[in-house]
């Protein structure tokens, strides 16, 4: 009885299995969805660029004054960081103040312009402001978004510049030790072509503007600064034309005592921003050796990762389970971990070494307090109040 029941159960199960198999054979399985392959964003590299230098002193109207604004940087989400990126906020902060000075030095080397300064924010007393955004910077690739706009509101540049370096552009002197110090004088930045291209592009825009446009730009800058000192007095002197650019509507006479005071205030202000620029110059010199070493380590790390990936994909021993394959893969893993740890240790050392320079940069300037940006704004406020006092708009002790 039990045996018969068991036999019947087995027959039923067998029939169900066969039915399922037959049903499966008649089903059409969906096509597997292809896994999207990430496509690297192509970079428009600047290539080899020679800086155009002036063979003779440019005309006075061509010697416009330029402010190179401290750069900004795009913040990444927590999951986007990887080895070789500038993942530490301290390093990013230093880089945003280091790279503008490379551009400033390039513009100075061209001998095509007037005074050029690195500044912490926009300044109405300067003819042209150059701003930058760091898109990518990892020792191997540098990509910058550069925008330049003059005091009239005319946009000179708004484009992306990118270049890639090779290990040979980091000479052995960048692996400096106590016995092998960094040679700052003869070192050429691996991304110098970017700064040369920016300088040449600015020069091309200036050439297309013509002499009269540059003369008018100087007038606009003067009146814009006057309006910044005393909006109630000078704001009506500047209007927008049909193109949306600022132009001078009424220009005071050259012997106007009010304009003489404006010129005096502008002179004092430029002495101050010269001091600010000197602080950035000192910071640049303090940062450069450690920064170049950091870049060198970064490009070495990128090369290490690429080599590791290539060897993992090799068919000669990459898929083998033999002792040679295992030992080689373990060796590669071990050294990559050591290199990664050294890379992060270097980052910490980089920040610790340069902390005193930043403390000095943000210390008091001419008795002012706060960060460089706060000191900058405080100084402009002092000049506004001084101008009003000298012109009798406010009596001593009055509030603004």
Of 64-73, 89-98, 350-359, least confident by mean pLDDT is 350-359
C-alpha span between 190 and 223 (Å, rounded): 41
Of 110-119, 157-166, 362-371, least confident by mean pLDDT is 362-371
Q: Which pTM does this prediction carry?
A: 0.74
* pLDDT at position 37 over 70: no
pLDDT above 90 covers a percentage of the chain that reads: 35
Residue 236 corresponds to which tokens in the numbers above? 């009506």
C-alpha span between 2 and 321 (Å, rounded): 53
Per-residue pLDDT band at 348 (split at 50, 70, 90): low
Residue 5 corresponds to which tokens in the numbers above? 């029941």
Of 208-212, 274-278, 370-374, least confident by mean pLDDT is 370-374
Please give the pLDDT value at position 258.
Answer: 86
DSSP symbols for 72-89: EEPPPPGGG--TTS---H
* pLDDT at position 213 over 60: yes
CA 160 to chain CA mean position, Å: 11
Per-residue pLDDT band at 131 (split at 50, 70, 90): very high
C-alpha span between 317 and 167 (Å, rounded): 28
Per-residue pLDDT band at 367 (split at 50, 70, 90): low
Please give the pLDDT value at position 180.
Answer: 65
CA 253 to chain CA mean position, Å: 42
pLDDT digit string, tens, across residues 226-264: 999 888 888 788 999 999 999 998 877 777 888 888 998
Backbone angles phi, psi at 203, to 5 degrees: -65, -40
Backbone angles phi, psi at 240, to 5 degrees: -100, 140
What b/e sequence results for 105-139 when a residue is b if at least 16 CB atoms lie within 10 Å of its CB, and e otherwise? bbbeebebbbbbbbbbeebbbbbbbbbbebbbbbb
Token pair 């990444």: residue: 76
Would you say the C-alpha torsion 296, 298, 299, 305 has a positive or negative sign?
Answer: positive
Report whether 362 contacts 372 (CB < 8 A): yes
Please give the pLDDT value at position 308.
Answer: 65
Residue (of 193, 135, 184) closest to 164 by Cα position = 193
Please give the pLDDT value at position 68.
Answer: 98
Residue 88 corresponds to which tokens in the numbers above? 């530490």
pLDDT digit string, tens, across residues 191-201: 999 999 999 99
């Amino acid at each position: 009885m039990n045996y018969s029941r068991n036999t019947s159960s087995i027959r039923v199960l067998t029939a169900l299995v066969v039915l399922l198999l037959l049903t499966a054979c008649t089903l059409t399985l969906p096509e597997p969805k292809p896994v999207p392959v990430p496509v690297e964003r192509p970079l428009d590299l600047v290539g080899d660029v020679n800086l155009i230098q002036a063979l003779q002193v440019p005309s006075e109207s061509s010697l416009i004054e330029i402010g190179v604004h401290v750069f900004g940087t795009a913040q990444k989400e927590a999951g986007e960081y990887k080895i070789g990126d500038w993942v530490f906020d301290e390093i990013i902060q230093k880089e945003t103040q280091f790279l503008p000075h490379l551009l400033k030095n390039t513009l100075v080397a061209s001998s095509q312009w007037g005074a050029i300064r690195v500044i912490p924010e926009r300044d109405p007393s300067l003819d042209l402001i150059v701003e930058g955004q760091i898109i990518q910077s990892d020792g191997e690739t540098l990509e910058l978004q550069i925008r330049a706009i003059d005091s009239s509101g005319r946009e000179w540049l708004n484009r992306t510049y990118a270049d890639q370096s090779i290990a040979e552009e980091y000479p052995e002197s960048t692996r400096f030790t106590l016995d092998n110090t960094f040679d700052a004088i003869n070192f050429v930045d691996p991304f110098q072509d970017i700064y040369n291209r920016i300088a040449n592009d600015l020069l091309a825009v200036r050439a297309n503007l013509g002499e009269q446009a540059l003369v008018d730009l100087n007038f606009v800058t003067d009146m814009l600064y006057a309006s910044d000192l005393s909006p109630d007095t000078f704001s009506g002197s500047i209007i927008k034309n049909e193109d949306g650019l600022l132009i001078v509507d009424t220009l005071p006479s050259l012997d106007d005592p009010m304009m003489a005071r404006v010129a005096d205030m502008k002179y004092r202000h430029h002495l101050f921003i010269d001091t600010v620029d000197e602080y950035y110059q000192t910071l640049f010199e303090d940062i450069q050796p450690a920064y170049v070493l950091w870049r060198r380590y970064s490009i070495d790390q990128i090369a290490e990762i690429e080599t590791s990936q290539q060897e993992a994909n090799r068919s000669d021993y990459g898929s083998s389970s033999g002792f040679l394959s295992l030992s080689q893969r373990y060796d590669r893993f071990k050294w990559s971990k050591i290199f990664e740890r050294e890379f992060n240790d270097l980052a910490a050392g980089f920040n610790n070494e340069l902390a005193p320079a930043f403390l000095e940069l943000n210390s008091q300037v001419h008795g002012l307090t706060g960060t460089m940006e706060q000191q900058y704004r405080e100084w402009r406020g002092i000049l506004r109040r001084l101008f009003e006092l000298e012109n009798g708009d406010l009596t001593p002790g009055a509030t603004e």
